[in-house]
Structure 1
């Protein structure tokens, strides 16, 4: 199966975006994929803000992108765009860091006013980085993601939509899409 890098671009340690991604990661693992999570907020701020391409943590993150067959990029939407933290990482990656990769963009936000941020802000950047296939992205409202750990991290409609998006991404990578039936 495919090797997937799951990138969380939220600056918050209690991020709903990250919670959403880790739920998606679990489904991808059940489908037989190898998933490596990368929380951009854990990278050294001085390396990100100082554009230190040679910092060991940035070099390691770049290698994770190189090794991945597919990349999931998750970000909260602020002011109709993806997070500045995510941008700082994307700016440090090589121009064609996504060449030959299948990419799934995900976004979360407080209102549906930000739903087009994936298509108008994030997708062009991913395309310019050489992604061979960007599957249709998915936006969900913050209110549909549970803030604390519990039995179900997503509202039922959001969970169903995420399953479909995840399965589409998995199929684009050549994976199985019916690894398990939804529970609930």
Structure 2
């Protein structure tokens, strides 16, 4: 009786998860409330997603301002630190980008950093904008201006950003609870969908 050759089954690799949440803060003041709010958003989002949160993955752009604005004239150590930050942000799968509202838009520091990134640097990443405004009348402006720039860099923006007034910072966890319940699942599903498809391995 002739033998029958069976093809090995191909088992698809599961999506790579969990992923950490990288945070970018565009406030030009060190120790800003925007940075504290961004860290809280990233930590709460990471917890909701079941992913690790690492404070060393918070990129506070005021630290890199000399290299961002001076370019090649900056000291080598400053340029190297900026390059590390750019690589961290460019390789992330979830990025929280935070800015205060400055003159009806996001900050020049954040814009200058985004200009440093290569074309499509955020392709494959889910980005959540976070904006902090002093007045209710200005609270949507920075978000409206920032989203097209992030999209131009290839970012996926599947959910509305976190739009805060300064008074919201007093009880941020309560303010964010509804946003997290309704949006975290979309962020996670989109992030998994954007992961590169791994080569399947034959079943043993």
TM-score by length of 1: 0.79
| Change in CA separation of 1:121 and 1:105 when aligned onto 2, cut-off 3 Å | same
Aligned counterpart, 2:13: none
Q: Which runs of 4+ in 1 moved over 6 A?
A: none
CA RMSD of aligned residues (A): 2.4
Q: Secondary structure, in 3 states, of the residue corresponding to 1:10?
A: coil
Name the one with the larger strand percent: 1
Aligned length: 167
1:144 maps to 2:168:
yes
Structure label with greater radius of gyration: 2
Q: 1:132, 1:154 → 2: CA distance?
A: 25
Summarize deviations over 1:144-167 as a string: whole Å, max 9, x none.
113xxxxxx5273x2334434662
Kept after mapping to 2: 8 A contact 1:8/1:21: yes
1:12 maps to 2:48:
no
Q: Identify which of 141, 161, 173 aligns with 2:191.
A: 173
1:51 maps to 2:51:
no
Q: Identify which of 1, 21, 44 aligns with 2:38.
A: 21
Q: Identify which of 33, 52, 62 aligns with 1:41.
A: 62
1:115 maps to 2:139:
yes
Per-residue deviation, 1:38: 1.1
Per-residue deviation, 1:105: 0.7
Q: 1:160, 1:125 → 2: CA distance?
A: 27
For structure 2, which runs of at least 5 residues remain unmatched after alignment?
1-17, 193-204
Q: Identify which of 61, 81, 102 aligns with 2:105.
A: 81
Q: Secondary structure, in 3 states, of the residue corresponding to 2:71?
A: coil
For structure 1, which runs of at least 5 residues remain unmatched after alignment?
147-152, 175-184
